[in-house]
Amino acid sequence: MFVEGKVIVVTGGGGGIGRALALNLLEKGARVAAVDLNEEGLKDLQKAARGYGERFYMHVMDLTDKTALNMLPKIVENNLGTADGIINVAGIIQPFLKVSELDDETIKKVMDINFYGTLNMIQAFLPGLKKRPRAHIVNISSMGGFLPVPGQTVYGASKAAVKLLTEGLYSELKDTNVSVTVAFPGAVGTDIAKNSGVDVPPQEGTKQHKTLSPYKAAETIIEAMEKNKFRVLVGSDAKVMDFLYRAMPKRATNMIAKKMASLLEKQHA
């Protein structure tokens, strides 16, 4: 589905990939509703989108509030028109701790935002999307959604759930007007750790790999959306690890575990 002239709802629009997606979509002629709990981030995006006039709309919302979220399709329609697509970006990571060290509240928060927030958006918007001539759903999983990362196991589980939710949704909608894409970003230069309230200790003596810019990630995701791709790997690291994990899952798992060992040790220092 080409985005020009379409109404697209982007969650997590207050920063990172969500912000970059909103601005990129506006540049391509779309009308964009940016949704986030981060009001300050949305206001900053609103300033950046000032030149696009009435094609931009921001809405502060908690995606785990299903009652409020069910009203969002009508709110978007009243401000921009009926939604043609949704891009579910909003997500948080967990503290860099092992599963046995995580409290129930943290686990629930990660699952509520990453998985249930995505599911709530789909359930709220899907009835309207089915009535559009062409529509599209993009869900952002993660490289951690197909490759286990010690210290981010619950986060990975939430993103693996998004992966299978999206693939199942694709199967259910493949003969309809609604296309579905799942995206797997690797390391992208965002403030997800800060926004998640997570402190990431520096890894001394470890080679720091260059992260992909949020804008480049957004370009890749929108291109996949316009080409109706089933899945898209965002960044060279995601592509490499996808290949390795398919070919040698145990070896790839052990390699990531080795890289993460020093970070987990620092959390207990």
What amino acid positions are annotated as catalytic residues?
A: 155
With CA atoms as reference, report the closest residue to 36 among 87, 109, 77, 111: 87
Task: Calculate the alpha carbon distances from 6 to 76, 166, 223 in Å.
Answer: 12, 22, 15
How far is residue 7's CA from residue 85's CA, in Å, rounded to a whole number?
A: 7
How far is residue 151's CA from residue 106's CA, in Å, rounded to a whole number?
A: 13
Backbone angles phi, psi at 83, to 5 degrees: -65, 135
